[in-house]
Chain A
Amino acid sequence: MRWTGLALLLLSLLGVLAQSVPEDPRDEAKRQKQLLLQTSGILPSDLIVEQGKDLFYTKRGPRGVSLEGCDFGLGAGVLQGASVQLPRYFADTGKVEDLDSRIRTCMTQLQGFKPEEVKRSEVVPLAFFIAAQSDGLPIQVRIAAPAEREMYELGQKLFYARSGARDMGCATCHVSYVNRRSGVLPFSDVLGKDASMSHWPAYRYSNDQAWTMEDRIRACYGNLGHPQPDFYSPVPIALQLFMAYQANQAKAELPGFLR
């Protein structure tokens, strides 16, 4: 398990030179998006948004209610602008929550699902739908509550942490080696130019994959041969709060559409 990530990393290198000098992945993604829109009239990511919309409005779970009563930070049922303000502190749970964990909170507390019944295959489309309601808005997270400050500081430490048998961490690639590559794609400038938090959750057309930032963070650790943090645990939430704060004011493109 630990090594499959590295093996994949290496395998993915095999494609590199076949394409000689690759174009900027951001431009390439834009071009692909246009192409897909022209040929099929709808993006795969739109279909995921639709699926999330159904899940959102359907009365589900032991209590038979929709998620319309869920407060994503701006009041029950207010979705526009909600996801660009996450992660944030929620008084009702006493926790800092990101989009994934807030969906899970509402699925358990509102709809009555047991935590183990909350499937990623539902959380991800829901996240796509909710995020899409903030498309085009600026990222606006704040560090106000003491819990938010603690989480921010934790996220910053984790982002720069060097650990594990490969002595790595997020910053080693995404700060120090931006634009260099280990696989096919150059490392994105997570805190700078790419403002990565502004385009997640995202659809990746190269492997038809819909991921939230929690998935993305876990995969990064996997690539480093590092044990992955649990979904919904403070680790991915803290990292997101740190990254989102650096991305404040960046215009959100939601859901993201990436190579």
Chain B
Amino acid sequence: MMRPRLKQAGWIAALALLGLASSQSDPLKAAVATGGAQYAQVILDQDEGQRLCTQYQSQLPGELIPKFIEAQKALIRYPANGKLLGDWQNGEKVFTDPKRGNCYACHQGDPKQLAYGTMGPSLANYGARGTSEPILRYTYEKIYNSWAFVPCSLMYRGGVHGLFTPEETADLVAFLVDANSPLNRR
């Protein structure tokens, strides 16, 4: 029974570092290569934000919030052409696609679409806020990296993780704000 015991000890040593602000990795990777390597890899590859949200169980102490938000803002990338307002029709595809936005899992969107989750606020009629530069910028940055506004939010950072590109983020913005988008049609 010697080997399984060591194996378990290795896992514990490796995973015990979870949520601690340390990222030395090579001995860890070796230790977890024994089993569940893929799972362990994802856990051990936590970025700084995930590590902090883990450590504080998603309730960051107030004094850490300004730095956290600053660090998350710095992760936001913008479309090469600088346009934050893209094509709403493509935005709808990204919004619906389970591999990309998967936004319906948490939000109401097109009111005709009856299957949606209730974890996030309804986005129906989001366009009532208009299309001013500050609204476009907020919407773009929120979708690209929601943690730049609400640290450790349930809403994942789709842009940061490359689930959609900056251009697709601009398309999502259009789906939310464009007057012709089904989100805003009456």
A contact set with B: CB distance below 8 Å = 3, 6-7, 9-10, 13-17, 92-96, 150-151, 153-154, 157-158, 160-169, 171-173, 176-177, 180-183, 221, 226-230, 233-235
Contacts and interface: CB of A to CB of B under 8 A. Distances in A.
A181 B35 contact: no
The prevalent SS among residues of B at the interface is loop
Given A7-B98, A17-B115, A234-B11, 6 more contacts: A9-B98, A13-B105, A167-B147, A167-B157, A181-B119, A229-B36
Contacts of A181: 117-119
Given A6-B102, A13-B104, A94-B1, A183 B58 contact: no
Contact of B46 (A7, A96, A162): A162
B5 A16 contact: no
B36 A162 contact: no
A177 B98 CA distance: 20
Contact of B18 (A16, A94, A157): A157
B69 interface: no
B16 A226 contact: no
B156 A154 contact: no
Interface stretch (B49-57, B74-82, B134-142, B174-182): B49-57
Contacts of B99: 3, 6-7
Interface residues of B, number: 44
A176 B154 contact: yes
A181 B119 CA distance: 6
Nearest to B105: A182
A180 B118 CA distance: 6
Chain B CB count within 10 A is highest, among A95, A162, A166, A173, for A162
B104 A162 contact: no
21 contacts: A16-B115, A95-B1, A95-B5, A154-B15, A157-B15, A160-B57, A161-B18, A161-B43, A161-B54, A162-B54, A162-B58, A163-B50, A165-B162, A166-B161, A167-B157, A168-B154, A176-B154, A177-B119, A180-B119, A227-B42, A230-B35
B54 A160 contact: yes
B124 interface: no
Contacts of A183: 117
Interface string B31-67: 0000110110111011000100110011000000000
B152 interface: yes
Contacts of B102: 6, 9-10
Contact of A167 (B36, B41, B50, B162): B50
A160 B154 CA distance: 12
B163 interface: yes
A162 B118 CA distance: 20
B106 interface: yes
Contacts of A150: 12, 16
B15 A158 contact: yes
Contacts of A160: 19, 54, 57-58
Contacts of A151: 12
Contacts of B45: 163
A15 B117 CA distance: 12
B90 interface: no
A157 B12 CA distance: 11
Contact of B39 (A6, A165, A172, A221): A221
Contact of A6 (B1, B46, B98): B98
Contact of B36 (A93, A157, A235): A235
Given A10-B105, A227-B39, A235-B36, A162 B152 contact: yes
